A and B are shown apart, each in its own frame.
Chain A
Amino acid sequence: GAGVSQSPRYKVAKRGQDVALRCDPISGHVSLFWYQQALGQGPEFLTYFQNEAQLDKSGLPSDRFFAERPEGSVSTLKIQRTQQEDSAVYLCASSGYSGANVLTFGAGSRLTVL
């Protein structure tokens, strides 16, 4: 597609529920990043994929967070047993280059955990 597409745009979950957030990067982009952005803060790095390989997952806050990109295109960020502190906007970004280069961000998925 023309840009990075994320779904759902808004998600309300009850504490303890599992959620899955989807990212469709720009076609052909090899690098894909997930960031978490709390209100009034900068995006915080979660994880990075180069094609289907997850090269860095050092930013995932706990083992409740899991990301995958099985075929090197669409990626899913899964959060298990959601907690209130997981409430944030989850941003996906892709790049046509390896590593951190010019990133195109999606509009984000806003997660609210009640």
Chain B
Amino acid sequence: QQPVQSPQAVILREGEDAVINCSSSKALYSVHWYRQKHGEAPVFLMILLKGGEQKGHDKISASFNEKKQQSSLYLTASQLSYSGTYFCGTVTSYGKLTFGQGTILTVHP
């Protein structure tokens, strides 16, 4: 079952903040976040393994609400380099990472 991401697209000016949400209809073992720039391979951002866990990476952080089967990615003080498509991936059974449909983030100067 594919996780659902929202919003589908976000347009920001440099320095603005954004939140991308990911929800699943199934219980989750873990949540992964990747960013893909046009024509390139997806690149790992972070993985959240426990309910309530929050992780940070520079000005990008994420939370995982295991009970609600949801995760959110927080982008603070966005930079031009943050532009790309963000995918959440959920693991509901051993070994199978299923990605959402993606959220396109565009950061303008």
Residues of A within 8 A of B (CB): 4, 31, 33, 35, 41-45, 48, 50, 55-56, 58-59, 91, 98-108
Contacts and interface: CB of A to CB of B under 8 A. Distances in A.
Given A42-B87, A44-B99, A55-B94, 11 more contacts: A42-B102, A45-B97, A45-B99, A100-B94, A100-B96, A103-B34, A103-B44, A104-B44, A105-B43, A107-B41, A108-B41
A48 B95 CA distance: 7
B95 A50 contact: yes
Contacts of B47: 101-102
A100 B102 contact: no
B58 interface: no
Overall SS of chain A's interface: loop
Interface of B: 2, 30, 32, 34, 40-44, 47, 87, 89, 91, 94-102
Contact of A99 (B41, B95, B99, B102): B95
Contacts of A104: 44
A31 B96 contact: no
Nearest to A59: B96
A41 B5 CA distance: 12
Contacts of B91: 99-100
Contacts of A48: 95-96
Nearest to B29: A100
A98 B91 CA distance: 13
A98 B44 CA distance: 17
A1 B42 CA distance: 18
A43 B96 contact: no
A99 B42 contact: no
Contacts of B42: 43, 91, 103, 105
A16 B40 CA distance: 28
Contact of A42 (B41, B95, B101): B101
A42 B32 contact: no
A31 B91 CA distance: 15
B2 A91 contact: no
Contacts of B102: 41-42
